[in-house]
Structure 1
């Protein structure tokens, strides 16, 4: 898929490739396919001229957009291994990750480097920090330079260097761990390509209409199919105007983005996909009612992207316990370990964790079961609540709380002494829905939870965390304890 996109780029192709959003929601061309072609060739030639060879690690800290995409395509073309560096992770974490990845070169935009002098207040407000990069690896700036940033990486003239045709590591994505032991997923060129093809086959992009979405896994398959990609506007109101003007054939947004867009009056077109955090049947149904032809929940991990998918109709019709996350995508295999944990394998599964041996089966951390080709989750293993002598897995019961009028709901444990816990549901109402109406709507599903029924229900905003804005269960537990 990446090779297909690289082969399709030409310097004389005027078709739009990457779109931004104007103030009124009007699509703005940020890069044509010709621009993307020239950027990719120029960065590939520049990296090659600096002596980088297949297998070398390139650190990348560039905000999503044409330049970051061109750098990633150039690195893939040359057979480099990209270490994705998140500028929002904080200086200590970033330094640890740089130490683990050991890049020969780091490319960063000016915003990621804005940590000193006049830019420091701006950087702190944006939660951006890449301190002392030069102490660990040579650093260069892509795009506009600002005072105090590293030297520029200019686009090198001449033809694109010869590409690398073999397999090998393609990307390092840091997921968790500590500053002393950062944890990172390593995907090979083969697993990355398999994941891209799975996304292409699920989304089915065609050249005639744009796709709305900002992740690398959306950009590459869509552009390879000839479709332009619009990067989602940052504010819900502008996103609503953007979607109205664009009428995309497909949209990919995280659940928090979807909820905010719906609250702002979003009308959807085509097929809508949501993932990176739990997607309830009620949320998908709301998307469907807001105009989408199809509304899909996508089950994906950094280690296996994507793994399974379910359309709104099938998810709403599911009456079993747990959360139906869908049919396994072609090539993906699943089984349940002796401890109830869901294990996944397949051509799009990561090769290994950085510094560890290769493994065939990926431990998801989710309690789950496999029903034929369908996967049903019962929550995160670490989220288990112990009340009395009973183990309660929140994921088995949370889907039932997502009734009309509820935006998001989590079940958490609150310490009750002697190692026991109280079970509390933290429920976030939809915009404009009073707490009394939410409590009334929850009476039946709470009655059906039997021995797992929560001891209390707190109606409040569910705290979120991380780039994907998943529910922050620790913060929700603190909120529940204080209520």
Structure 2
């Protein structure tokens, strides 16, 4: 039996109730369990027959959908290593990341592959503020498209054709995999000169799926309304039906209608989206559908004011859970809405570590973690035996983790992790900029962080003229930064310093930035 054995576990569910719906797009017909297993097996065999070998890295650029889930499962079953694509990071960083991982395959949406293969399309996208990567960084990779043929795709083969070929090749054997074999690669912090990628093995990925499944409290017959892979797969393995939300920004009204229409028992939201849903319901004196039992919150800090708003609109028997974790090890701890609302101590209650997690606090307060979900390490770097989170914590008398602060300067905005060290050197290249700093300021009204960019001008540079030029400069080819990192407010001023080394005082900077944002809000 293969280590992850996802298809074997799904097949066992299909044997129980083959016609039971398994997965559906929000606006589409559900795919039943037996059909899902057949499609995954056929695509996996088709990929192997087409030349995908165990250990081949497969860059994956398909947004959440039924087709994405089929393709992900098929790649894993075929022995490939999934590489999460982040195409909005800018062409230079994308090229550096591709040079690091060197994918042999790319599975992408037709429109994305066509646009990435066309200089004209990329130029049009840049004028609209989107820096699409070029396929030149993937010259040696084999392309597979999900969707119709479009001009500029450079010979991309259709996933449907590969799936049909797999149906006609039942003799093709799917490979076995070692527990320590890589299974999933996702990029994290790092500059263009030194990108970093987290590598999860078959062992750590299976442990993650099992622990997330237990944390979900999902069972046969439940309905999960979410497209996140680390939630969708455990739900499918438990026999639940997965409904994938539509693409694009969350529409609170449409989300509430979908939860009711599908009889959703579980859903996942980032805090910023949860805030929008709560505000929408409160403004109408409405509540979440009565079928909803579990609301999962993650990817950013979950503040008590948001939880109070959610408690007012959730069904009385439902609860919300905040999940704490990171790319290197997920999940780490969970805490219920009631626990957080009852918390009166200093800091942010993260909850008790999930089973298997070994948490210890270093002398300086930093949280260090081990456990079966721990990744193998960063690609090209030594094996990781313990993860230093950069978070400063303490452990309360009940064994729960309490977050006291972030040693790292990472900013969490919506679904995105923004690393200032990745973008500040780029901003510093803009003419007239002496130095700069990017800080996150918590906005409780939106349950999200706002980004403030503070730029110190060169001597003799007109500060007002620099302030006017910066927005366009941040989108220019030579000095482009991620769309997710574009600042909500730009300040041109002398940067505060601290200590003998005259380092930038980021604490003072956050205070200044917070005041600037409040003044802007008051004027608005």
Report TM bin, short chain.
0.7 to 0.9
Q: SS state of the match for residue 368, structure 2?
A: strand
Q: SS state of the match for residue 93, structure 2?
A: helix
Is 2:369 aligned against 1:344?
A: yes
Task: Name the CA distance, whole Å, in 2 between partners of 1:360 and 1:380.
Answer: 22
Number of the residue aligned with 1:303: 328
Is 2:262 aligned against 1:246?
A: yes
Whether the 8 Å CA contact 2:333–2:352 is kept in 1: the answer is yes
Is 2:484 aligned against 1:424?
A: no
Task: Name the CA distance, whole Å, in 1 between partners of 2:453 and 2:62.
Answer: 39
Unaligned runs of at least 5 residues, structure 1: 23-27, 385-393, 428-454, 462-479
Number of the residue aligned with 1:171: 184
Alpha-carbon distance, 1:180 to partner: 1.8
Q: SS state of the match for residue 284, structure 1?
A: helix
Number of the residue aligned with 2:169: 158
Task: Name the CA distance, whole Å, in 2 between partners of 1:103 and 1:59.
Answer: 6
- Residues 269-296 of structure 1 show CA distances to partners (whole Å, capped at 9, x for unaligned) of 2111100111112222322221241111
Which residues in structure 2 correspond to 1:7-406 (within 5 Å)? 7-9=9-11, 13-22=18-27, 28-115=28-115, 116=118, 120=122, 127=130, 129-133=132-136, 134-149=138-153, 150-153=155-158, 154=161, 155=163, 156=165, 157-159=168-170, 161-167=173-179, 168-233=181-246, 234-265=250-281, 267=288, 269-292=292-315, 293-371=318-396, 373-383=399-409
Q: SS state of the match for residue 321, structure 2?
A: strand
Q: SS state of the match for residue 334, structure 2?
A: strand
Alpha-carbon distance, 1:370 to partner: 2.5
Whether the 8 Å CA contact 2:324–2:332 is kept in 1: the answer is yes
Whether the 8 Å CA contact 2:324–2:334 is kept in 1: the answer is yes
Alpha-carbon distance, 1:126 to partner: 9.0
Which residues in structure 2 correspond to 1:445-464 (within 5 Å)? 458=518
CA RMSD of aligned residues (A): 3.3
Q: SS state of the match for residue 23, structure 2?
A: strand
Task: Name the CA distance, whole Å, in 2 between partners of 1:46 and 1:59.
Answer: 17
Whether the 8 Å CA contact 1:106–1:137 is kept in 2: the answer is yes
Alpha-carbon distance, 1:459 to partner: 6.1
Number of the residue aligned with 1:442: none
Alpha-carbon distance, 1:331 to partner: 0.4
Task: Name the CA distance, whole Å, in 2 between partners of 1:39 and 1:210.
Answer: 21
Q: SS state of the match for residue 384, structure 2?
A: coil
Task: Name the CA distance, whole Å, in 2 between partners of 1:304 and 1:418.
Answer: 35
Alpha-carbon distance, 1:422 to partner: 5.5
Q: Normalization by structure 2: what TM-score?
A: 0.72
Whether the 8 Å CA contact 2:495–2:509 is kept in 1: the answer is yes
Decide which moves more: 261-270 or 125-134: 125-134
Unaligned runs of at least 5 residues, structure 2: 282-286, 411-438, 455-493, 499-504
Q: SS state of the match for residue 325, structure 1?
A: strand
Whether the 8 Å CA contact 2:303–2:447 is kept in 1: the answer is no
Task: Name the CA distance, whole Å, in 1 between partners of 2:175 and 2:148.
Answer: 27
Whether the 8 Å CA contact 1:424–1:458 is kept in 2: the answer is no
- Residues 285-332 of structure 1 show CA distances to partners (whole Å, capped at 9, x for unaligned) of 322221241111100101111110000111111122111111100001
Task: Name the CA distance, whole Å, in 1 between partners of 2:297 and 2:88.
Answer: 23
Task: Name the CA distance, whole Å, in 2 between partners of 1:373 and 1:196.
Answer: 24
Number of corresponding residues: 418
Alpha-carbon distance, 1:111 to partner: 2.6
Task: Name the CA distance, whole Å, in 1 between partners of 2:218 and 2:341.
Answer: 25
- Residues 369-428 of structure 1 show CA distances to partners (whole Å, capped at 9, x for unaligned) of 2235311112221349xxxxxxxxx99x97xx95xx77457899986645453552877x
Whether the 8 Å CA contact 2:272–2:448 is kept in 1: the answer is no
Whether the 8 Å CA contact 2:275–2:446 is kept in 1: the answer is no
CA change 1:344–1:61 in 2 (3 A) is same
Task: Name the CA distance, whole Å, in 1 between partners of 2:113 and 2:322.
Answer: 36
Alpha-carbon distance, 1:144 to partner: 2.4
Task: Name the CA distance, whole Å, in 1 between partners of 2:300 and 2:327.
Answer: 12
Q: SS state of the match for residue 367, structure 1?
A: strand
Alpha-carbon distance, 1:220 to partner: 0.5
Q: Normalization by structure 1: what TM-score?
A: 0.77
Q: SS state of the match for residue 330, structure 2?
A: coil
Whether the 8 Å CA contact 2:188–2:197 is kept in 1: the answer is yes
Q: SS state of the match for residue 382, structure 1?
A: coil
Q: SS state of the match for residue 59, structure 2?
A: strand
Decide which moves more: 130-139 or 90-99: 130-139
Whether the 8 Å CA contact 2:46–2:169 is kept in 1: the answer is no
Whether the 8 Å CA contact 2:23–2:242 is kept in 1: the answer is yes
CA change 1:366–1:411 in 2 (3 A) is farther
CA change 1:33–1:121 in 2 (3 A) is farther
Decide which moves more: 139-148 or 123-132: 123-132
